[in-house]
Structure 1
Amino acid sequence: MNKKYIPLAVNGGIGFGSWLKPKQLLVLGEYLEEDQEIELTTLQQLIVKVPEDELEEVKRKFEEEGLHYYKVGNYVKSLRTCNFCKGEEEEGMPVAKELNRRISGKEVPFTLRPAYTGCPIGCGEPLINDIGVMKKKEHYEIYIGGQSKGQNAQVGKLIADKLEPDKLYDIVDKILDIYYQNGRKREKFSRFINRYGFEDIKKEIFNKN
């Protein structure tokens, strides 16, 4: 009987750049077939396939070694981030971690890519991802609808600024809920915004008449 495999997106969590420790690589190797390929994505993730009957054990082992794992498919991806080159507190790493915890793995009509950067230099590329968060001095800005590829490539539009962390989380939750409730199956987020209307999304978020 052929084994069934479950894909997982794996990374080392949110920190100073994209990194994995040697022990974490060894753990990954324990559960992969000798000739199995590992995909390295532009989202700072490794896509691995693990045997379904070992899934819970694999998850436990990953957690023990500090590996973060996420669902593969039509979900919110883990937060793409900058390298926090000016420091954890100054560039808001705790906020990025909490935002990632809240939104990664949420079901959406089509794969959604969020990004975060700790300063206006924008190394996390928030303006060319579906949802982008930028820390500016002591507050946060949210951009939506960015797209980096294809003929319809575009920069995201600013939907809210001067936000405290709690308000940031709340608005991102509302954006995802609007998309989940109103998006069509396999409708990319940027296309959804164009169809539904940026201003209508903004009105719904802020309950404007």
Structure 2
Amino acid sequence: MEKQEKMKIAINGGIGFGAKLNAKQLVAISKYMEEDEELELTTFQQLYVEVPADKEKEVIEEFTKVGLACYPVGNFVKSLRTCNFCKGEEAEGMPVAKELNRRIAGKPVPVTLKAAYTGCAVGCGEPMLSDIGVMKNRDRFNLYVGGKAKGKDAEVGSLLLENLSSEELYEAVEKIIAGYAETGKKRETFYKYTKRVGLPYLIK
């Protein structure tokens, strides 16, 4: 019997009040797992699931119906890492996080790019340690770039722009990612890209 070809997709419960999955979502995921198979939980707040390659579209539709968000695996912008939005949807800017994620997640880039968002200065979403980080400050947004969480040369991101409106934020982040996708070298991480290009030139 010919072995069925499988492919890996990344899923999570979408952006909400904490990283959670409900019973319907767990049942949907379990349909595509063997009894002794394990799920891989990534640092991007995603689960990797292997599904039949010839049923990718069908599976994604099924997952989407139960509220799961699906993303490609590999050198793409990962889904937005967020805080738990502890003070409510409007106060913590969840609509902005959802819209930013919609605009950037899944875009192809030279090397996997991690973006993070936090609704206040506490920074639970770890924006300062991400390639691109957003920190909400009252009703405006500060944008950080070039954070690096791993290695001996780990460092916090640099403040690139501050006091942005939501639309200014979307425009700036999309421009930065487009520039990286177009001019980043093969296997060049975003951290190295920011060092090579220089902060002032990331959005020009």
TM-score, normalised with respect to structure 1: 0.95
Which residue is equivalent to 2:147?
146
Alignment of 1:166-205 (within 5 A): 166-202=167-203, 204=204
Cα offset, 1:34, TM superposition: 2.5
Cα distance between partner residues in 2 of 1:200 and 1:136: 24
Equivalent residues, number: 203
Q: Find out whether 1:4 has 2:8 as its counterpart.
A: no
Cα distance in 1 for partners of 2:62, 2:24 equals: 11
Distance in 2, matches of 1:77 and 1:91, equals 21
Aligned to 1:137: 138
| Equivalent-residue separation in structure 2 for 1:183 and 1:135 (angstroms) | 28
1: CA distance between counterparts of 2:143 and 2:187? 23
Amino acid at match of 1:94: P
For 2:202 and 2:168, the matched residues in 1 are separated by 16
SS of the residue corresponding to residue 162 of structure 2 reads: strand
Preserved contact between residue 12 and residue 68 of structure 1 (Cα < 8 Å): yes
- 8 A Cα contact 1:31 1:58, kept in partner: no
Structure 2 gap ranges (5+): none
Following TM superposition, the consecutive aligned residue runs of length 4 or more in structure 1 with deviations greater than 3 angstroms are none
Residue segments in structure 1 that go unaligned for 5+ positions in a row: 205-209
CA distance in structure 2 between the aligned counterparts of 1:54 and 1:35, rounded to whole angstroms: 22
CA–CA distance in structure 2, aligned partners of residues 138 and 83 of structure 1: 18
Residue 158 of structure 1 aligns to a residue whose secondary structure is strand
1:117 CA drift (Å): 0.1
C-alpha separation in 2, matches of 1:195 and 1:37:
40
Seq. identity, %? 54
CA distance in 2, matches of 1:179, 1:55: 28
Counterpart of 1:207 in structure 2 is none
Report Cα offsets for 1:67-88 as digits up to 9, x if no partner: 0010000000000000000111
The match for 1:33 is 34
